[in-house]
Amino acid sequence: MTSLQLKERIEGKAYESHGQSFYALNEKEQFKVVGNAVMEYVVPKWIESKRKFNKKKQAYYLSAEFLMGRALSNNLVNLGIDDEVKRTLEEMGVDYNALEDAEDDAGLGNGGLGRLAACFLDSGATLDYPLSGYGILYQYGIFKQNFVNGFQVESADPWLEHGNPWLIKNNNDTRIVEFSDADKVEAVPYDMPIVGYGGDTINTLRLWKAEAIDKFDFRAFDEGKYIDSVKAQDEAETISRILYPNDSTTEGKKLRLKQQYFFTSASLQDLMIKYKAEGHKNFDDFSKLHSIQLNDTHPALAIPELIRLLEKEGVEFEKAFDITQKSMAYTNHTLLAEALEVWDKGLFKSVLPNLYPYVEEINSRLISELKEWQIDKDEWNNFLIIQNNGIHMAFMSIYATRAVNGVAAIHTDLLKTDVISSWHKLFPDRIVNKTNGITQRRWLLQSNPQLSEMITELLGSKEWVTELSQLKALEANQDDDQVLDRFIDIKHEKKKELAEYIQFHEEVNIDPDSIFDIQIKRLHEYKRQLMMAFYIGDLYNRMKADPEGEWTKRTFIFGAKAAPGYYIAKAIIKYINELANRVNTDPEVNGIIKVVFVENYGVSYAERLFPAADVSEQISTAGKEASGTGNMKFMLNGAVTVGTMDGANVEIVEEAGRENNYIFGMEVDEVVEKRKNYNPVDAMKQTEGLEQVVESLVDGTFHDNNTGMFRNLYNNLTQEDQYFVLEDFESYRRVQDQIAGDFKDQKAFYRKGFINMANAGKFSSDRTVEEYATDIWHVARQQ
């Protein structure tokens, strides 16, 4: 494709879609036009990819979330046409960076689970594996976050408002989803291309949008009942309106359940219809051609639904169960009991009356086997899918699939020895580990081109982009002053870029010469954003007490959204913003330390934050974080980890060395022991300076606008401290102070970051997907 051809294509697309010249369009319109022009390059390759996988065994990733981020740069880089397109746009007088910023982040996910799904799709296509995704086309992202007087305020995220060039509607594959005999909707598919690096394979993410079967009631409209005339369409569209509706109400719970059934039923129907269209007369070979991965329990309804659909095709229950079990595998993402989905039986039956009998039948089959295996009846509560008026989705997912995997070594061990230990004893080979990974294409090649260029020069080739283990060879340069100086210069350049971005978006001046200490992730108590905030409060108090002390310049950066109904998490956000205001307006300290809570943290913001970080905050209570993937992105970009021995931190330390990171706090066995006899007030009083910080929540130092939020936060800590913020604080403060001291010798400090980067190879999602493909999915590359 020549520059002239691309210009003509872009101009043609502008006239076709907007009826005017490309130069007359605004930036969002120009982005869409360029995207449409690129899609003309993508589609033929996409069709060819589908052809080469035809009639081969394929893997299907079912997930409620796919946190894709922006696609323009990612697609151009993976297609290998980024330089060509950027050069052409420059010739046309178009600012590519502005065009890139005009793309809205795809509102299809929220946290690590969704970003992992996106990385897996990238790796699957890059490695030429037949891996497709199935999810929901949410009309709105989870929400846009703004801070008003320090409080999180949510508003709609209409990411599809201006259209999206990467989505292709496919009406021919519309499916009907039946919640009950009287409640049915259409599932309309929209396909998104997943471009592998090199452009040889383009896989598909199929997203379902809910629509009414009868979209408009003409008679009601004719009778003047205008709202009633579109009521069915409004109710149907609500199903795919927004990710994770607030489930603190019964209606919210019903909507979540409907969402989960909606996309799993539509996806399975899709697979079965295509299977039959290939000429199969029965379903004997279904499991030989389909490997279905359930990403957490959100898609677990696929288990009884596949059995139901197979029975409709004349397959008797035992055979349908066998096909289902051989086709499906389940990824567990949590060690938190409250996050293991349990649906109220009455609510389930009211929403899905046609599906419930199949859940009962699966449970009855399990009971028969428990009797056959002579499991003591006193232990049945560790297994039963239906018990205490609840339906346990994790138990069903373990029982009716052929493989269950954890997402980090310590997480999988805890599943086996604690969370689902009874199941492990029953099926000792079923639970396996697949440590999470990230795609280096987005999180290094695209987001940190300066560091990528240096790596390529040092290694002498660009093979690391698909073989991240090659980074290990960089260790040979760890004592090369010239290399380290260049590494430090690149880090400083990324910090300057971030500082400029934060100044523009958050209106806070931060110093690129300071330590950039960053904690970006979902806001949850176990992730302990509060402990980092308490350290800042304690540091502030110490600085005020010793204004002439030799303090290291530091910038503390938070990014996180709290679920709208998560009251305590929103209280923590308010507290951090109050703390930031106090620190940033105090002339005695604000030249030394700054605090920033970035608004509306998402993938695009993350692409600026990870490369600029000096310190990665991974401080969850040991035994609570399944894996984490943010820790890997920081490591890949040359940050050191301050963290507990939790999740993938354990493996990061194994790869890069404990001496090159900052490990603190209780380990899992110590947490278990401490929980038996823990007094949080004693922990607070025995730690110098901590009581003053905690009391500041309620002594008038900070204000929560008379909401009572801070008092509730204070009571939670002093009465329970479920996640041991107060117990681990002293150990955390010790390593944080050590970081401040170590930073004085920048060469030595950044050498640790360089060694971390050089040892990040294990954490590529390419390695993870390769393990899934070989050990669980049994699918082959098709080059």
What are 120-159's pLDDT values in tens digits?
999 999 999 999 999 999 999 989 999 999 999 999 999 9
What are 382-397's pLDDT values in tens digits?
999 999 999 999 999 9
What are 182-238's pLDDT values in tens digits?
999 999 999 999 999 999 999 999 999 999 999 888 898 889 998 988 899 999 999
What is the predicted pLDDT for the residue at 463? Answer: 97
One fold for 55-70+105-436+769-777 and 490-763: yes
What is the predicted pLDDT for the residue at 1? Answer: 63
Report the C-alpha gap between 596 and 508 in whole angstroms.
Answer: 7
Report the C-alpha gap between 130 and 74 in whole angstroms.
Answer: 20
**Tokens encoding 754:** 């360089």
Are residues 593 and 536 in contact, defined by beta-carbon separation less than 8 angstroms? Answer: yes
pLDDT band at 110 (very low <50, low <70, confident <90, very high): confident
Q: Quick one: which of 304, 319, 243 has its CA closest to 268?
A: 304
Are residues 243 and 602 in contact, defined by beta-carbon separation less than 8 angstroms? Answer: no
**55-70+105-436+769-777: CATH architecture:** 3-Layer(aba) Sandwich (3.40)
C-alpha of 439 from chain center? 13
Report the C-alpha gap between 259 and 185 in whole angstroms.
Answer: 12
* Domain chopping of the chain, boundaries: 55-70+105-436+769-777, 490-763
Q: Does position 248 have pLDDT exceeding 90, yes or no?
A: no
Q: The domain 490-763 is classified under which CATH number: 1.10.3720.10, 3.40.50.2000, 3.40.50.720, 3.60.15.10?
A: 3.40.50.2000
Pairing of strands 328-331, 131-136: unpaired
What are 422-465's pLDDT values in tens digits?
999 999 999 999 999 999 999 999 999 999 999 999 999 999 99
pLDDT band at 402 (very low <50, low <70, confident <90, very high): very high
Are residues 293 and 333 in contact, defined by beta-carbon separation less than 8 angstroms? Answer: no
What is the predicted pLDDT for the residue at 247? Answer: 86
| DSSP-assigned states of every residue in 211-225 | E-SS---HHHHHTT-
State mean pLDDT over 761-776. Answer: 98
**Tokens encoding 180:** 């009950």
Query: Coil, strand, or helix at residue 736?
Result: helix
Integer CA distances (angstroms), 525 to 304, 334, 735, in order: 34, 14, 21
pLDDT band at 338 (very low <50, low <70, confident <90, very high): confident
Active site residues: 333, 521-522, 527, 629, 633
Report the C-alpha gap between 531 and 723 in whole angstroms.
Answer: 10
Angle CA(647)–CA(653)–CA(655) in degrees, nearest 5?
110
